[in-house]
Amino acid sequence: MKGKLIVIEGLDGSGKATQTALLCDYIKESGRSYRKLSFPNYESPSSALVKMYLGGELSSKPDGVNPYAAAAFYAVDRCADFLKYWKDEYEGGGLFVSDRYATSNAVYQTSKLPEAQWGDYLRWLEDFEYDKLGVPKPDVVIYLDMDVSVSQQLLSKRYGGDESKKDIHELDVGFLRSCRRTALCAAEALGWHVIRCDDGRQPRSVSDISKDIIEAAKPYL
């Protein structure tokens, strides 16, 4: 028996935590049991390499760490988390909602490569993580698409204007813009459900976005 895994994906500050919590509230109200996941698992020592990468210890710019290496850092954290915390429940048929997942590697790492290599890279990611490491493949990926200038405003508000709280992805707006472009290509190639979360200047309301997410998730609940 295999569980169900719903992933909420998106760039920094696109509303993943906010929307994951609302989807979980909806599931709870319907009386179903579920478990919320969030990656990377910063509470666990398995995220050490991710912290070094995002903290700029390996390179001050995201491009300084090759996309295969960076993806491997995130993948081993997930693999350890799966084995230690949720393998049995998943294999017993449990329902999981995850804020970020293996799909974040497609979002953040693909743009480091020339476009001609994107297809090969996405195939490698899926083969490495789902087939070789044996981490579950999501049943549905809901991608929150937000213009980077809007998500940067939300992040600045959240950090109260303190730029030092931003990691090397969040600090590099040019990098995030290219990630948004590749993420939309990945979404198309990998069959993700894309939800536009802003009008180019302002975010849509939290409750409107939540309604769209619930509709997208319903067939999997």
Interface residues toward ligand ATP, by CB under 6 A: 10, 12-18, 154, 157-158, 203-204, 206, 209
User: Closer CB to ligand ATP, residue 15 or residue 136?
Assistant: 15
Shortest gap between Cβ of 115 and Mg ion (angstroms)?
Answer: 28
Q: Cβ-closest residue to Mg ion? A: 17
User: Closer CB to ligand ATP, residue 18 or residue 178?
Assistant: 18
Shortest gap between Cβ of 50 and Mg ion (angstroms)?
Answer: 14
Report the amino acid identity of residue 27. Answer: I
Asked if 195 and 120 touch (Cβ cutoff 8 Å), the reply is no
In the list Mg ion, ligand ATP, none, the entry touching 209 (Cβ below 5 to 8 angstroms by class) is: ligand ATP
- Judged by CB under 5 A, the residue of 17, 21, 72, 113 near Mg ion is 17
In the list Mg ion, ligand ATP, none, the entry touching 203 (Cβ below 5 to 8 angstroms by class) is: ligand ATP
Asked if 182 and 118 touch (Cβ cutoff 8 Å), the reply is yes
CA distance 96 to 93: 10
User: Closer CB to ligand ATP, residue 5 or residue 176?
Assistant: 176
In the list ligand ATP, Mg ion, none, the entry touching 36 (Cβ below 5 to 8 angstroms by class) is: none
CA distance 172 to 17: 21
